[in-house]
Structures are given as C-alpha cells and as structure tokens.
C-alpha cells in the first residue's frame, strides 16, 4: 500500500501543480484530524527535485502555519462543534495529554509539537481552547515546523535516495529522540 502511495506521490512531485498539492496538504494537516503529515509529500518532492527542496519546505512551512492559525481559531471559537469528532476518531486521550502539556509548558509544547511526530493539529486546537497568546504560538510554530520541514528537505536534497529509505525507516525514533533532547533542555533551563 505504501509503495503504491510513494510511487503516486513521486509522480505528483514532477507535475507542475505539485506545489499546490503540497500547500493544500500542509494547510489541512494542521487542523484536520485524519490527515497525514506533509512530510509524506515533501520528502519525495525533495528527492525528485532537489534544486527546489528549500522552496518546497518554505511553502510547506507557510501553509502549515496558516493551517495552524486556522486550528487555533477553531479551538478558540468552535471547539464545542469539533470535540465530538475528536472523540469519534479516537483522539480524545491524546488531546487530554496535549492539554496537560500546555498547562505545564505552553510555548515549548507548541515548539516541540511542530517538530515531533505528535499530531500538530492537536496542539493547534488546544492552543485555541486554552487561549495561548497568539504571538508565542506563531513563533513556536514557525521554529518547530520550520526546523522539521527544512531539515527534512535539506537532507533529502543533499543525500537523495541513499538517505531516504533510512530516514523513513527511523523517522519516528529520530523525532522522539529530538523531543527528549528538547525536554531535557527545557527541564535543565528551568531548574
């Protein structure tokens, strides 16, 4: 299944409208619950067209942060209508964990979520529900998402297919290792 999806995405990556598809995916992924992360399209596009990888990462970042703002607004003003979907799609427990993280870490929770494999959409909704200050939310989103997308695009553009299979194989471990490092840094900073 994933091999067929990968082949299809590689075909899309070479089409003139690929950038539009990437932007729409990046936007929607930031607040629509059952949506895959934009990495699934950014990675093969960066391999297929390494000379445009940084442009792809920029579009992904901008669309993702705009989507994050949309998620923030949904959380702030429409969460009562969205919450049944959070429960129905099995995200309630994760959402509760995210809400707890916000109460403890605030800005840092968004920054970590932007970079980690934890669904960013849960953080955008939670930030709105808890009325996190909008400027710190934007800054954390730009840093976290920017690091994630630019690092991925740069690695794949520079090392190409040789690193792609290893990166995909270990992406969960790499993401969680970075989250742990950031948490250790934050705890050390506050102690």
Question: What pLDDT sits at residue 80?
Answer: 87
Angle at 72 between CA 185 and CA 120, to 5 degrees: 50
Range of the domain at 36: 2-190
The average pLDDT across 154-159 equals 88
Q: Which of 125, 131, 137 is nearest to 97 (CA)?
A: 125
Q: Which of 148, 74, 157 is nearest to 110 (CA)?
A: 148
How many angstroms separate the CA atoms of 182 and 51, rounded?
Answer: 31
Residue 130: which pLDDT band, with cuts at 50, 70 and 90? confident
Higher-confidence position of 25 and 59:
59
**Cα torsion through 90, 102, 138, 134, rounded to 10:** 110
Are 75 and 124 a contacting pair, CB within 8 Å? Answer: yes
Q: Which of 79, 71, 58, 86 is nearest to 30 (CA)?
A: 71
Number of domains forming the structure of the chain: 1
Locus of tokens 């953080």 = 123
Higher-confidence position of 46 and 160:
46
Quick check: helix, strand or coil at residue 78?
A: coil
Cα radius of gyration rounded to whole Å, the chain: 17
Question: What pLDDT sits at residue 171?
Answer: 60
How many angstroms separate the CA atoms of 81 and 128, rounded?
Answer: 14
Q: Is the pLDDT of residue 54 over 90?
A: yes
Look over the chain and give the mean of its residue pLDDT values, rounded to a whole number. 82
**Cα torsion through 44, 50, 52, 56, rounded to 10:** 30
pTM comes to 0.75
Q: Is the pLDDT of residue 128 over 50?
A: yes
């Amino acid at each position: 299944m994933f091999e067929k999806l990968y082949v299809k995405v590689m075909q899309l990556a070479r089409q003139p409208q690929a950038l539009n598809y990437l932007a729409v995916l990046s936007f929607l992924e930031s607040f629509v619950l059952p949506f895959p992360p934009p990495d699934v399209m950014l990675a093969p596009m960066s391999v297929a067209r390494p000379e445009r990888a940084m442009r792809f990462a920029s579009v992904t970042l901008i669309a993702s942060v705009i989507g994050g703002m949309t998620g923030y607004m949904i959380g702030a003003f429409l969460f009562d209508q969205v919450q049944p979907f959070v429960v129905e799609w099995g995200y309630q427990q994760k959402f509760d964990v995210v809400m707890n993280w916000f109460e403890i870490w605030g800005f840092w929770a968004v920054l970590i979520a932007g970079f980690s494999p934890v669904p960013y959409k849960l953080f955008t909704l939670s930030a709105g529900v808890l009325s996190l200050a909008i400027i710190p939310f934007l800054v954390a989103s730009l840093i976290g998402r920017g690091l994630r997308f630019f690092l991925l695009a740069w690695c794949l553009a520079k090392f190409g297919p040789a690193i792609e299979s290893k990166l995909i194989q270990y992406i969960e471990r790499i993401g969680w290792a970075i989250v742990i490092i950031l948490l250790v840094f934050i705890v050390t900073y506050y102690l």
